[in-house]
Amino acid sequence: MGDWDYVNRLKTRDGSYRHVRLRAVPVVEGGEVVEWVGTFTDVEQEWQEERRKELLDRAAAATADLGSLDEVVRTLADVIVPALADVCAVFLLPEFEGESIQLPFVAERLISIARTGIPPAVGPQTIDEERDFVTVIRTRRPILRVFPKGEPPPGSMPPGAEDYAVGTELNSVAMAPVIVDGAVAAVVAAGRYGDRERLNPDDVDLLGRMLAHAHVHLSNAMRFQRTQRVALALQKYLLRDPPRVPGLEIAARYRASATSAEIGGDWYDCFVRPDGSAVLTIGDVAGHDLAAAVTMSQLRNMLRGLAVDRQEPPGDILRRMDVATELLNGEGTATCILAHLERPDSGVWSLHYSVAGHPPPLLVTPEGEARFLEGTVNPLLGADYDMSRSSSVAVLPARGTLLLYTDGLVEVPGEHLDLGLERLRRGSASLAHEPLDNFCDRLLQLPSVYRDDVAMIAVRLPGI
């Protein structure tokens, strides 16, 4: 029979807990165990050190290969709960000007994870009074509050957690700042409830060390999200509703990726030239970052400037855009369609267009037939500024619908592009009689796995 070695957790008279190690060896006489001789040792400090090292290693390893902020904070919270706390929440803060914190402000609760499976709701939380949460931001130091079960003192709870603290019989809460680029970018709150021993200063120190171990990944994710927020604001500012054009219905849509935090360089534009014809453009700059969004805005505005008063074919205008793309986008790539609608005296609308490496325009007839306008396809913008570009002309039927779109509407990873195009063609044909706004909205609901941004602009022609 071998030795016996066991670590147990005991509750002391004062309500605290200690870890003890029981070790014993048997005394054998005549082949039988007649007694055990053992020791009883307090190993609380040793156990805490091993636990601390394990959690720090887990916090660093768990967040190492993640990109988005949501992934990083969720994984970190999964490490904190239940090993360190029963509930954990992460609050993303606005960017305060200088060191001043003006009340009220809104903190975004990114995630809440609880051992019970019923965490406080996520979402924006308004902070309109001085409380511990604000003190953590001002002092950049953690705060620990310990109290009777379900009786937190006023102002001690994270935003929106007061009722939750009472209902779960919370007994302690700790809040710690996350500092990025010299400013408090987030606050992490952790708590214990019920009969579990309360959080103590060593636990708060461990929480801070866990955040420090994951700091590089948290910082990168937060910087990335802020960059994407700026890019999205830029896109929303540029991609406004199209103008009113007599005789035409025009609708446009932009939707950020449903499966990614990234922001791309998709754009659309529509404006009316002095001669009354409508110009339509759609394009996509390669990349998913602020640089792509900025380049998108430059190319879009440059193209508008080149096309606003020129009567030359669209291909000739895109040829001049090649030079601008080379200067603005370097080795990057961009796709584009430039088109203008004309209605001569005969009353029949025609589309003059040039395609630069972009998915083809789609025409839907009022009878419910849909086909792609397979004009000459030119290389990507910026491929060769000395190369000539061709233009195509298509006659458009009365009450027909013209759709320009970016590849996010048809591309599915691992699937041939032809399948996505055919899905779009069939879906558009079935919506031929829908109002134009419904037509666009329903296309965004096609059964596909979107991994890219989607931009589209649709035009419905009048009857004869």
**Total structural domains within the chain:** 3
Same domain, 38 and 51: no
Torsion of CA 206, 208, 213, 217, to 10 degrees: 140
Instruction: Name the 3-class secondary structure at 208.
Output: helix
Confidence (pLDDT) at 449: 44
Instruction: Name the 3-class secondary structure at 27.
Output: strand
Choose among 447, 464, 444: nearest CA to 455: 444
Torsion of CA 69, 73, 78, 83, to 10 degrees: 150
- What kind and span of H or E run contains 148? none
Same domain, 221 and 243: no
Confidence (pLDDT) at 250: 94
Same domain, 120 and 166: yes
- What kind and span of H or E run contains 279? strand 278-285
CB 401 within 8 A of CB 364: yes
Instruction: Name the 3-class secondary structure at 255.
Output: strand
Q: What's the rounded Cα separation, in Å, for the pair 34 and 201?
A: 46
pTM beyond cutoff 0.75: no
201 located within any domain: yes
Q: For residue 82, say if its preceding peptide bond is cis, omega within 30 degrees of 0.
A: yes
Same domain, 204 and 283: no
233 located within any domain: no
Same domain, 248 and 354: yes
We report the CATH number of the domain holding residue 31 as: 2.10.70
325 located within any domain: yes
Torsion of CA 435, 438, 444, 447, to 10 degrees: -90
Choose among 85, 160, 73: nearest CA to 115: 85
Same domain, 156 and 301: no
Same domain, 36 and 50: no
232 located within any domain: no
CB 393 within 8 A of CB 350: yes
**Residue 145 burial (CB count, 10 A):** 19
DSSP for 410-452, written as a single string: T--TTS-HHHHHHHHHHHHHHTTTS-HHHHHHHHTTSS----S
Same domain, 283 and 407: yes
Cβ contacts of residue 296 below 8 Å, gap of 6+? 235, 238, 265, 266, 267, 283, 284, 285, 334
Q: What's the rounded Cα separation, in Å, for the pair 386 and 436?
A: 40
Cβ contacts of residue 253 below 8 Å, gap of 6+? 440, 441, 444, 454, 455, 456, 457
Same domain, 10 and 50: no
**Residue 460 burial (CB count, 10 A):** 19
DSSP 400: -
Instruction: Name the 3-class secondary structure at 118.
Output: coil
**Residue 385 burial (CB count, 10 A):** 15
We report the CATH number of the domain holding residue 87 as: 3.30.450.40
Choose among 161, 183, 181, 182: nearest CA to 172: 161
Beta-bridge mates of residue 266: 284
234 located within any domain: no
Q: Which residues of the chain have pLDDT under 50?
A: 66, 259-261, 449
CB 288 within 8 A of CB 266: no
Q: For residue 119, say if its preceding peptide bond is cis, omega within 30 degrees of 0.
A: no
CB 353 within 8 A of CB 391: yes
Residue whose entry in the numeric block shows the structure tokens 């570009």: 389
Same domain, 192 and 89: yes
Choose among 418, 381, 391, 406: nearest CA to 458: 406
Radius of gyration in angstroms for the set of CA atoms belonging to the chain, rounded to a whole number: 31
Confidence (pLDDT) at 338: 94
Its domain, for residue 37, covers 4-42
We report the CATH number of the domain holding residue 305 as: 3.60.40.10
Confidence (pLDDT) at 453: 80
Residue whose entry in the numeric block shows the structure tokens 């060390």: 209
88 located within any domain: yes
First-residue to last-residue Cα distance in the chain: 99
Q: For residue 94, say if its preceding peptide bond is cis, omega within 30 degrees of 0.
A: no
Residue whose entry in the numeric block shows the structure tokens 């602020």: 290
Same domain, 24 and 153: no
CB 284 within 8 A of CB 335: yes
Same domain, 32 and 113: no
117 located within any domain: yes
Q: What's the rounded Cα separation, in Å, for the pair 322 and 327?
A: 9
231 located within any domain: no
